[in-house]
Homo-oligomer: A and B are copies of this chain.
Amino acid sequence: MNPAITITMNDREQRAANMFRCSTRERAMFEAGIKMGTVYHQFVGVPVDATSVDVLEKSIEKGVLVQPYVQDVKVSIDRSSFKAKNDEYSYVSLTGNMLDVEIVIKIDNIRVTAKMNFNKELNYPLMYISDVSEDIQETRF
């Protein structure tokens, strides 16, 4: 169905690709959505404060990067709700509203960028597609 994909995909990847009833471009959107759902629903609830936030950001990024077709990812957690360490209860649980995420999916020659961040007008941590680009297909002889 997607002949261009056979150039770079191995057997397992080709098998997976064959399951999709849509274009590579549309699949890239789907893969981007999966990763956004992963970030939100895997990590919301993690206890976090100023001493742990750097490694948590890194850990979310690495967790996304190991998933299929992720080329790049950047996670920033809003530190403005952190409190000074006064006692045993001076930490927060990660919420979706604290997350600022950018993920780049690359399948074959398609590159999709998705973002999640808190949208004040919606009062909602919106996930959306911020960019799509299609590289000129390299010809193979």
Structural contact, A35 and B37, CB atoms closer than 8 A: yes
Interface of A is mostly: mixed
Residues of the B chain whose Cβ atoms lie less than 8 Å from the Cβ of A89: 12-13, 16, 68, 122, 124
Contact in complex: B19, A126 (CB < 8 Å): yes
Tell me if A101 is interfacial: C-beta within 8 Å of chain B: no
List the number of copies, as a whole number.
4
Given A19-B128, A40-B41; 5 other pairs, CB 8 A cutoff: A15-B119, A19-B126, A26-B132, A56-B59, A56-B62
The answer to whether B59 touches A51, judged by C-beta atoms less than 8 angstroms apart, is no
Contacts of A44 in B (CB 8 A): 44-45, 93
A31 to B127, CA, bound (A): 9
